[in-house]
Every structure is written in C-alpha cells, then in structure tokens.
Amino acid sequence: MGDYPFGPPAGGGGVGVLVSPSGDVSGVTDAAAINAAVAKLPATGGIVNLNPTAQWNILCGQVVINRSGVYINAPGVYIKAVGAGDVFRMFDSTNLLTRLIWGGGILGMPVIDGSATTGISCAFHGGDITQLAVFCQAINFTAGVYAPGNSSKGVWIDNQWWWTEQAYGRVVARSCATWAQFDNSTLATNPNATGSFDRLSMDIFGDSQGVGDGVCWNNGALTINYYLGIWGNFKWAANATVYTALRVIGQNAAGASFLGAGGADGGKGLFIGLEVDGTATTQPTTITFSGSPFTFVNSSGNMYFAGFAQSNNSGGHFQCLGPVQGDPTLTGMQGLENPSITFAITTGSTIQNQWYGFIRMTVAAAATGVIMAAGSFDGQPVTLRNVSAVNSVTFALAATSLMARGVAEVIAPLTDATFHWSAPDSLWYRSI
C-alpha cells in the first residue's frame, strides 16, 4: 500500500535532471548518462528523469548509486537490461545514525526487461536507505542457474551496510526466478547490516509462468509492524524444481528469517492472494520454511491459496491472526495465542511446540526416544495428549529430550499430560 508511484514524496528534493536514451544497444552509453546525471545532483538529493521517447539499454553492473535522496523517475520507460548483474544498484554506506537525508529509490513503474541478460541479474537492487521507494515492473529475469535465494530477481532489497526500515512501494514481476527478495547478505562481514526491514509497506504482484518463486526472505531478514501483500498467479514447473509462493530460509548471527506481527490497526501484516493456473510437471507450494535453523511467520493477515501443494510446515513455524485458505498445514486462528494441532509421533520424533498449547499425538507404534523442542518463554504451558488406544510415547534422555524426567517421562495410551517450560533449566517439567 505504498504511495507516490509517479513522483517522489513532497520535499524529496526539488532538483531534477532529464536524461534521454542514446540508442546504443550495448547499454554502456545509457548507463554512463544516468551516472553523469546523478553526479550533477546536490548533496541534498534530487531526481533523475528518464525520457520515455525511445527504448533504454542499460549494461548491468554499471549504474551504482551510493547515497540517499536520489530518485530515478521513469514513468512510461522501457528498459532492456544487457549482461549480468544489477540494472540499478542503490545503497548508502555512510553512517545511518548520523545521516541528514533519508529516502531515494526508483519511481514511475518503468518496465525493466531481463530477457537479454546472460547471468544472474536483478532489475533493482537496493537497501541500506531509510524510506527506500521501490516502484517498478520487472520481466524475464531468469538467466543463470536457479537456486533458492541465489537466482535472478525482479527486485532485491538487501541490507549490506545498515538496515532498510520503512521501505515502501509496488513491485510487478513477471517470469522472474524470484519476484522479490528481502536479504541480509553481509552480516557475517558487517555487523551494522542487521536483518531489519521493520515498518515495511509494500505490494508485490507477480506472474510466475512456472519459472520461479514469489517472495523470498533470506539470511536472517526480518520485519515487524509491517504490511506485505503478495498477489498474482503461478504455474506448475515444467521440470522437477519445486517453486514456492513464499520462501523463508536461512539464518545468520541476527537469527532466523522472521515475518513478525503486523500493526495494531488491523490493516497490517501479511496478505496473500494467489492462484495456480493449469498443470504441468511440478506443483508449486504455498510457504517453504527452512527446517534447521527454524524460520518463522508470526503475523496478522489474511491468506488465500488456490491450487498449491501444501507447505512443509511441521509445527512451530507458523502462526497467523486471521483466516488462511487453501493449505490445512497453515493454521489460522482467532487470536495470537496457542492453538491446538495434531502430530504423528514415531520413534525419535521431535515435537515442535513454539505456537501450540495443545498437541494431539497419533501413535501408530510404540514410540521411544521422542524429543520435545525447547520452549519459547519461561512458564510456557503445553498439553500433550496420546490418542492411541495401545501405543505409548517414551522420551529420550533429559539432555536430549529436554524433559526433566528423561526416559522416565512416558505418556500412556489414552492419557494426556501438561508440561511447563523452565527457561533457567532449559527443561520441561510435568504438572502432577
């Protein structure tokens, strides 16, 4: 629900430079002209207006803008990307805590076409700027070998120097290996690049054409108090690759990737409206979580999936205040509190309990060496009910199962038991 798709916010810099395309299909001349125009802007920022009189050709990796307050304004512009890398790269490596200028980005919804790219490429790669504006259309960014989190992208919003909070915009992505990716790619080398994309406000529209993912959160990227809308159409892949509407992967020193609670006004959070058209070889999935380390969605919102395969959510990954349609593994609920769920328990199973207060256990054969995942807060209650009429559940040693009584902790058939997490001890204690 971002604003200002055709111009910068009021007060976003009054200086503008008009640049026209050259006709040089190599992309060298047009890229150089944009860089020269940016250099003419004052330190307080301004606007580079791209003239829509003819096609633009931009060599990837050449337009690099390291400052806040610069807007590329390109309504009605068609851009052909050439080579590999980023068509527009925008960031600010200066100390965010002492900056006087905020804002910058791409405006006007230009069409940026990656069909001539020769390797992993991206239409707009930006980050490290507070109030970053992203309004563009990206098509045909599929070059290079697909890999989750490391493929061509329509838009790549990336923390490399600092954080990118209060970003806003509208992205349209068609036939891209990833529609949009939120990333925290350099935390291992730059501790200032936290994973935060807090107070994000963005709509992402897409048409996968069976060639990629929708939205990816990578490398510990996270957001709270946000609005994110993901809308559009998917197709089945013509090969064995499993694409997904929302991929939440990776972890670094900042923690697991995490989409946190939306705002308190009821209009914020995660909103998804997606459908799958036709069939082919491999059906796309709803949400894919990395299993270790765990990644999370804990949000308000409203989600609708039509024609997708189920998420790999095995418990503990997902919690949503609001309805979820089209995937029974994604449990919507009436409040951000502990709902119930049913798990199939076998020998060596790990019971995920981060969001669940009541867990029914189906046990097809006597299960031993069972593990209880760590609790989320001191005193957290969880009730386990064994619904099997004949098979018991026996836990592993205390150091492994995190059950205070270790192997003595047995839940007999047709019984239940309530446990409370002790954060100081990192153990679950049974209520007797």
Same domain, 247 and 293: yes
The domain that contains 198 carries what CATH number? 2.160.20
Same domain, 266 and 405: no
Residue where a domain stops, chosen among 333, 362, 388: 333
Same domain, 233 and 347: no
Same domain, 262 and 388: no
Number of domains in the chain: 2
Give mean pLDDT, residues 379-406. Answer: 95
In a domain, 255, yes or no: yes
In a domain, 376, yes or no: yes
What DSSP string runs through 351-387?
E--SS-SEEEEE-SS-EEEEEEPPPSSTT-EEEEEE-
Residue where a domain stops, chosen among 318, 333, 348: 333
Query: According to the model, what pLDDT value does residue 261 have?
Result: 60
Whether pLDDT at 319 is above 80: no
Give mean pLDDT, residues 238-259. Answer: 77
Does a cis peptide bond (omega within 30 degrees of 0) precede residue 293? yes
Give mean pLDDT, residues 174-198. Answer: 88
In a domain, 164, yes or no: yes
Give mean pLDDT, residues 384-405. Answer: 97
Query: According to the model, what pLDDT value does residue 286 have?
Result: 96
Reported as a single tens digit per residue, the pLDDT across 273-290 is 999 999 999 999 999 987
Same domain, 266 and 210: yes
Give mean pLDDT, residues 317-326. Answer: 80
Q: How, if at all, do strands 415-422 and 381-386 pair? A: antiparallel
Boundaries of domain holding 280 = 16-333
Same domain, 315 and 350: no
Whether pLDDT at 72 is above 50: yes
Residue 376's pLDDT band, with cuts at 50, 70 and 90, is low
In a domain, 307, yes or no: yes
Reported as a single tens digit per residue, the pLDDT across 19-53 is 999 999 999 999 999 999 999 999 999 999 999 99
In a domain, 295, yes or no: yes
Same domain, 230 and 212: yes
Reported as a single tens digit per residue, the pLDDT across 114-153 is 999 999 999 999 999 999 999 999 999 999 999 999 999 9
Q: How far apart are CA 357 and CA 379, in angstroms?
A: 12
In this structure, of 181-185, 212-216, 255-259, 386-390, the range with the lowest mean pLDDT score is 255-259
Whether pLDDT at 379 is above 90: no
Same domain, 327 and 346: no
What DSSP string runs through 313-341?
--SSSEEEEB-EES-TTS-EESSSS--EE
Same domain, 329 and 345: no
Same domain, 326 and 346: no
Query: According to the model, what pLDDT value does residue 314 have?
Result: 57
In a domain, 1, yes or no: no
In a domain, 3, yes or no: no
Residue where a domain stops, chosen among 333, 361, 387: 333
In a domain, 11, yes or no: no
Query: Under a CB-based contact definition with an 8 Å cutoff, are residues 216 and 247 in contact?
Result: yes
Whether pLDDT at 103 is above 90: yes
Give mean pLDDT, residues 158-166. Answer: 94
Query: According to the model, what pLDDT value does residue 10 have?
Result: 39
Give mean pLDDT, residues 400-410. Answer: 97
Same domain, 137 and 281: yes
Q: What are residue 226's phi and psi, to 5 degrees?
A: -140, 165
Q: How far apart are CA 344 and CA 352, in angstroms?
A: 12
Provide the mean pLDDT of the chain.
88
Percent of the chain with pLDDT over 70: 88
Same domain, 106 and 170: yes
